[in-house]
Each structure stands twice: as C-alpha cells, then as structure tokens.
Amino acid sequence: MPSPEFPVFLERSLDVLREQVPEAYRELDASLAGQRLRVAVDGAARVLRFAGGEHALAPDGAADAELRTRGETILALVDGELGLLDAITRDALFLRGPVEAVVRLDAALHAYLAGAVRAPGFPPLLHAYRSGVLAAQEPC
C-alpha cells in the first residue's frame, strides 16, 4: 500500500523552500519549468510541474521524466548520509526519461537538497515525516 505521508511532505517541503529559501525554489523552477515530473516514493506518486514561478502537484497524469525511490533514501539524502550519485549507482534512486529531462532533474535535485539544508522549517517538517505525523493529514 502506498505511503500517504510523502505527498504531504513533498507539498509542504516545496512551500517551505518557496518561503524560506526562495533562490533554491527559483532554481527548481528554472530546472523543471515546462517539464512534468512523476515523483514516486514508497508507491505514492505525484506529478510535479513548475509554471510561472509556482509548482503544482497532481495525483496522476503524463510525465516527461520519473524519479522513484523510498522514504528512507529521501531522508538519507537530506541528512547528508547519502549523495545523489551514490543513491543512483546503488539503485536506491531511479531516474528515467530523455537525457535532457534527466539532466534537468539532476539540477533540480541539487537545488532541492541545497535549499533543504538551509531552510529553518525543514527540521520540524522532517521530524513530522519521520514520526508519521503527516500521514494523518490530507495529501495534496
């Protein structure tokens, strides 16, 4: 059964980046503008799209690229215990799409992680995600 926590975490984390580390959010927007990205974590998937400086998440739809992983990998990346290249080479992070889309996705992942470590709102959000508190809240 897909985890209901990740879609809520993704939406909240993007909001935190937009509010607290706007330069990282702008980098995400620039990297993913016009591209639809399917993000699947522990079986819960959303399609992310940036347009006009804002993000939107949909429960389903066509995608130009895909990122698939597990919640524990997301946490290891954010905690700095695992690097992006290691996650990919260890098959802990799966990326699929045309070369240009995957290159843009890589840039977006770097921007997201760089913003996450600088955003003061990320530690409490990560704590809620780790403890399963987000599961009781409505996913986007």
pLDDT of the residue at 5: 84
What are 72's two structure tokens? 């524990």
Q: What's the sign of the alpha-carbon dihedral 27, 29, 35, 40?
A: positive
pLDDT band at 137 (very low <50, low <70, confident <90, very high): low
> CATH assignment of 5-129, given 3.40.1710.10, 3.40.50.720, 3.90.79.10, 3.30.1050.10?
3.30.1050.10
Domain edges within the chain: 5-129
- Residue partners of 75: CB distance under 8 A and separation at least 6: 126, 129, 130
> Which pLDDT tens digit goes with each residue over 4-55?
788 999 999 999 999 999 999 999 999 999 999 999 999 899 999 998 899 9
Q: Compute the half-sphere exposure of residue 63: CA atoms within 13 Å on the CB side of its CA.
A: 25
pLDDT score of 139: 44
Spatial distance between the Cα atoms of 4 and 91, rounded to a whole number of angstroms: 23
Would you say residue 140 has pLDDT above 60?
no
- Rounded to an integer, what distance in angstroms lies between the CA atom of residue 135 and that of residue 12? 13
Indicate the pLDDT class of residue 135, thresholds 50, 70 and 90.
Answer: low
Q: How far apart, in whole angstroms, are the C-alpha atoms of residue 110 and residue 115?
A: 9
pLDDT of amino acid 1 = 46
Residue 11: what pLDDT? 94
Residue-wise pLDDT for 57-91, tens only, equals: 999 889 999 999 998 998 898 888 998 889 989 99
Q: How confident is the model at residue 124 (pLDDT cuts 50, 70, 90)?
A: very high
**In this predicted structure, what is the pLDDT of residue 35?**
93
pTM: 0.87
